[in-house]
Amino acid sequence: MLENYCDRWKLTVNATKTKVMIFRKGGRVNRNIRFIYKGNVLEIVSKFTYLGIAFTTGGSFNTTFEMLAGQALTAIYKFKSTFQQ
């Protein structure tokens, strides 16, 4: 379907950078599932970060919260160390 859509609208897809994420509530993804675009097998991932937001297959944003909290602690530490001289 992706290939047909892109051909119709004259779009190109960089298959080496394209990832597939299957959202689901629990359970494992069937290992026989493959996504192919113009003969290239697309990689299936369980976590993907886009614009600083971590998406996971279960739809939880806990990973994003943990990542942002860690970045905030790093920023606070750098701020404090800069002004404690």
DSSP annotation of 27 reads S
pLDDT, tens digit only, all 85 positions of the chain: 889 999 999 999 999 999 999 888 777 777 888 999 999 999 999 888 888 888 888 877 888 788 888 889 999 998 888 887 6
CA distance 37 to 46: 19
Supply the pLDDT for residue 32.
87
Whether 41 and 19 have beta carbons less than 8 Å apart is answered as no
- Bridge-partner residues for 21, per DSSP? 45
pTM here? 0.63
Supply the pLDDT for residue 81.
86
